[in-house]
Structure 1
Amino acid sequence: MNLIVDAGNSFIKLAVFNKNEIIKSQTLNYKIAINQIKETLQDYPIEYSIIASTKQEQPQLLQLLEKKSKLHVLSHKSQFPFKNNYKTPSTLGLDRLALVTAAVNEFPQKNSLIIDAGTCVTYDFIDRTKVYHGGAISPGLHMRFKAMHTFTDKLPLLTIKELNKNLIGNTTETSMQVGALIGLVNEIDGFINDYLSDYEDLTVILTGGDHQILSTRLKNSIFATSNFLVKGLNFILEYNKNT
């Protein structure tokens, strides 16, 4: 079995795979992550593991995984099943590489646009010949709320849980909610429409922590999924086992 560890900005996502099937999936706070991962290593016959981290190195976590499994630390030197045309590959986020890998695996020979709606919203495009071209990065919902609060004197700090479903806000709070949410929805639909003008057979994948909030409001047809990144990491692990 494979253990997948995605150490993000705020949380650690943990997944156990038996070949291509997810057996267990958790989102963990950093404070309890080590103990939870220890329990997982005890409960499942983990042979291989992979970690992708957007934060600083986690020495205690790395030592644990190295001791209990054959560990692959994802880096830009890892092997990937596509050609990378990004001009600064060493600056490309490891999470974006994993998402592109998942698209290659799940939608082979397709032009794919992967949209990851998290702290930031990332857009990544790979064509049907497995050439990755790049994409875009913009502020996510929480970042938009935080920016309005931080750079003004009177606007409150809102949370995503307070989202207003109406198009017109009739208070300062609901106006902020509508501006952030509908602004992001229109941005995403706009990106999709621009790509569709060049690639009619485009497959669009929406994932990330806010994908459920956004998916029901988008006008374009998409595949919405919550485990796309860990699937990509599992495929990378399999791809690198013999290299």
Structure 2
Amino acid sequence: MILVVDVGNTRIKAAVFEGATLFEIFVFSKMELQKNIENILEKFQNVTDLVISSVGDVEKQSFLDFKKVLKVHFISHEDSFPFHNCYATPKTLGIDRMVLASGATIQFPKQNRLVIDAGTCITYDFIDEKDNYLGGAIAPGLRLRYEALHNYTAKLPLLSFQSPEDFIGNSTSESIHSGVVNGFVYEIDGFIDEYKARYPNFIIILTGGDTDFLAKRLKNTIFANSNFLLESLNQTFQYKIKND
């Protein structure tokens, strides 16, 4: 059994796999890392490998402490991936984006793929039908947009995101919700339309913490899977074992 851990900007997600079978998903804060991994290992005592993808600020030593009982693997740029990295600055490409591209390449062969990860930031990653990773885009996520309006103005309140009642906001709060949420959705649909105009045989994969909120609001047909990064992390590790 394998325990995969994704360290994001705001939280940690983990999952236990045996082969392709997903047993359970866990979500916790960075402060609770040690305790939660210990609890997972107590529950799943057949786990032999700990696989980490990290873009957050958790010290490696927090994971290396488990080397006494597990094999610990950090996914890095030096690992084997099932795509050709055409990024102009390949060493700066986030490991999370590489893992998502890897999962898309493995799960959806021989087609153009756009992976949209809607979390703290929203990232767009494109892999063509010949398995070339071409790049994408990075933009603020929903939470960052609400925070930016509050932090960089004198009087706008900090709101939690919710669906606007109408695209015409009739109060300050409703205007903020309309601007943030509708602007976010229009941006995503606009990016998708640009890719579809250039590339046929196309699949769109939506993942990340805001997946469920966004999936019902996009006009384009998408494959929505909030756990796609964890699944991709497991698949990337399986690929690494076979190809390293």
TM range (shorter): over 0.9
* Superposition pairs of residues 1-243 of structure 1, within 5 angstroms: 1-44=1-44, 45-160=46-161, 162-242=162-242, 243=244
- Give the secondary-structure state (helix, strand or coil) at the position aligned to 1:115: strand
For the Cα contact (< 8 Å) 1:112–1:126, is it kept in 2?
A: yes
Distance apart, 1:37 and its partner CA: 0.7
Task: Give the aligned residue type for 1:157.
Answer: L
User: Structure 2: any 5+ residue segments left out of the alignment?
Assistant: none
For the Cα contact (< 8 Å) 1:49–1:237, is it kept in 2?
A: no
- Give the secondary-structure state (helix, strand or coil) at the position aligned to 2:167: coil
Distance apart, 1:25 and its partner CA: 0.4
Task: Give the aligned residue type for 1:97.
Answer: M
Aligned partners of 2:40, 2:53: CA distance in 1, in Å? Answer: 18
TM-score, structure 2 normalization? 0.95
For the Cα contact (< 8 Å) 1:163–1:174, is it kept in 2?
A: no
Aligned partners of 2:236, 2:58: CA distance in 1, in Å? Answer: 20
Aligned partners of 2:2, 2:35: CA distance in 1, in Å? Answer: 18
CA shift digits 1:121-176 (9 cap, x unpaired): 1000001111100000111111111111111111111112x442422211101100
Q: Which moved more, 1:52-61 or 1:67-76?
A: 52-61
Aligned partners of 1:236, 1:64: CA distance in 2, in Å? Answer: 23
> Aligned pair in 2 of structure 1 residues 42, 213: CA closer, same or farther (>3 Å)?
same
- Give the secondary-structure state (helix, strand or coil) at the position aligned to 1:95: helix
User: Structure 1: any 5+ residue segments left out of the alignment?
Assistant: none
Distance apart, 1:7 and its partner CA: 0.9
Q: Which moved more, 1:129-138 or 1:58-67?
A: 58-67
Q: Which moved more, 1:124-133 or 1:64-73?
A: 64-73
Number of equivalent positions: 242
Structure 1's consecutive aligned runs of 4 or more residues displaced over 4 angstroms after TM superposition are none
Aligned partners of 2:42, 2:107: CA distance in 1, in Å? Answer: 30
Aligned partners of 1:91, 1:66: CA distance in 2, in Å? Answer: 28
Distance apart, 1:79 and its partner CA: 1.2
Aligned partners of 2:188, 2:150: CA distance in 1, in Å? Answer: 23
Task: Give the aligned residue type for 1:41.
Answer: L
- Give the secondary-structure state (helix, strand or coil) at the position aligned to 2:39: helix
Aligned-residue sequence identity (percent) comes to: 43
Aligned partners of 2:125, 2:35: CA distance in 1, in Å? Answer: 34
Distance apart, 1:213 and its partner CA: 1.1
